[in-house]
Amino acid sequence: MKRNILLITTDQMRFDALGCNGGLVAKTPVIDKLAREGINYQRAHNQNVVCMPARATIMTGQYVSTHGVWMNGVALPEETPTIAHWLQDHGYQTALLGKAHFEPWLGDPAIFFENRMANEHNTGPHRGFDHMELANHFFEGHSHYDRFMTQEHPDLKEKFYPMVTARGQNTIGAGDTQGIQVWPSDIPKALYHTDWVADRTLDWLDQRQDQDPWFCWMSFPDPHHPWDPPASETHRVNWRDVPLPSLYSEDKAEMQALLATKPKHWQGYYDGTVWSNLESPRDFIPRDMTPDQVREINAMNHIENELIDDACGRVIDWLKAKGWYDNTDIIFTTDHGEFQGDFGLLFKGPYHVDALMRLPMIWRPATRTETPAARVTLPVGHLDLASTFCEIAGIESPPWVQGQVLPQNDAHAEAQQREDVITEWDSEHGEVSLHMKSIYHKAGWLCTVYEKSSLYAGTEGELYDMTADPEQRVNLWDDPQHKATRDELISDLYEKLPRPREPKLPRQAPV
């Protein structure tokens, strides 16, 4: 019998959000147990630090340069073959429940199928998935979850948070500290989108037969902002007890001194002079955040992570009761991280740091494989998920996949000659463009090249010794003693990075 595959993803979750990765606030016993039973990747990186490019890599097993989704707002062409198509072709039933985001979420429904399918009462097939029911954290009426709430609970739907990219009102939250986009909601936990995604997953799984292998992507929209967990759940974490991040200082001068060691758009974001990420409202100035607002924002984030863990537990308990747990491989990860106050910043954007690049990634193989639990320290990435699904299914990887099967221990990773992982960034927001390429080497070096853009001449960059300086406080880019290391890493980066897709895909809509 072929093994089933459950891919669980979150949106905008840090590596250290989980107890198994050193997290000390959110209680995540279900996911922590997956890590104990399986393989916990300590250096998993995304290939882009925002949603659409990262998710396109998960779907295709390709570098951003190859699949061409170079920034949010650039749609993955519908004719692109995906790993879901490939598994379909080899006998798997496929579903995606929750957040997809292969098309711009704020795009015109007349152009983008994902934005109109709910109102057309359509659940697929689409992009290799037999069945799709979508949910998101932007509540403008596009998703199946929005339609459900509008039809069944219109009074509650009206209480959803305003659009996250709007100006003005959404820089003032509804929490105790008025922290940006903190919005404890009056929605019962059972109707919150985290539980809804788990409900829809269980409903789809319940319709499968024992003899039919399946690939199910359970995709939670949280803990992405707005931070709007049900108000009934805010007792889980008292924001007053949440410690400030070690990379946050209440001394604004100290924060600015740290940012001054980095390329100029870092301090530009902090003081509000450079706007380089659409999901950060233009009138939000990170410098103005108070320490208590950082605490409350992080408390809401931790609460949302606990709700995700609870929802994962419901699905895993169902698999055990059904007798499918021991024949189901479970992979847990996220698309990208979140600053959460590191460097005095919030959200995400063109910053290649652990807060945004380093991912929780756990593979709990079906227990019949008798794979011992392990921690893999060598670098892996989203690029490797597609090949891993094929390994689980017992089929060859498609020729267009560029990653490898995830290693099951460091010895396996060494045999695969895993030395580094690459992350790309390209963006254009008004007159501000940015182009960055990073390589993380197994020796602990992180090198980021700033290519020519509206802000940079192409000679700037960042270089960190992540062993001696894991918080990336000391930029060694211009240090003469490290020039040879820097130049060697740059050479490796461009030798391994594929040529960009031509012609360049158009940006069709925001986000």
Residues 49, 18 share a domain: yes
Let me know if residue 509 belongs to a domain. Answer: no
What tokens does 437 get? 């390429």
Domain count, the chain: 2
The domain boundary, picked from 392, 419, 446, lies at 419
The domain boundary, picked from 369, 397, 419, lies at 419
The predicted-structure confidence for 380-427, as pLDDT tens digits, reads as follows 999 999 999 999 999 999 999 999 999 999 999 999 999 999 999 999
What pTM did the predictor assign? 0.97
Residues 445, 406 share a domain: no
The predicted-structure confidence for 220-239, as pLDDT tens digits, reads as follows 999 999 999 999 999 999 99
Residues 405, 352 share a domain: yes
150 alpha carbon, distance to own chain's centre: 27
Residues 409, 441 share a domain: no
Residues 429, 414 share a domain: no
Classified as helix, coil or strand, 369 is: helix
Let me know if residue 156 belongs to a domain. Answer: yes
Q: What angle do CA 321, 324, 1 make, to 5 degrees?
A: 155
Q: What are phi and psi of 363, to 5 degrees?
A: -120, 115
pLDDT below 70 — which residues of the chain?
Answer: 163-171, 368-372
Judge whether 226 and 20 are in contact, CB under 8 Å: no
Residues 329, 257 share a domain: yes
Strand arrangement of the beta sheet that strand 93-98 belongs to: 131-134, 93-98, 214-223, 4-11, 328-334, 361-364, 39-41, 374-376
Q: Report the pLDDT value the prediction gives residue 343, as an integer from 0 to 100.
A: 98
Q: Report the pLDDT value the prediction gives residue 167, as an integer from 0 to 100.
A: 46
CATH of the domain at 50: 3.40.720.10
Give pairs for 438-444: CB < 8 Å, separation 24+. Answer: 438/352, 438/357, 438/493, 439/489, 439/490, 439/492, 439/493, 439/496, 440/43, 440/45, 440/357, 440/379, 440/466, 441/379, 441/489, 441/492, 442/43, 442/378, 442/379, 442/418, 443/467, 444/468
Query: What's the domain range around 486?
Result: 421-496
Smallest Cα–Cα separation from 288: which of 172, 456, 120? 172
Residues 413, 444 share a domain: no
DSSP state of 224: S
CATH of the domain at 440: 3.30.1120
Residues 77, 198 share a domain: yes
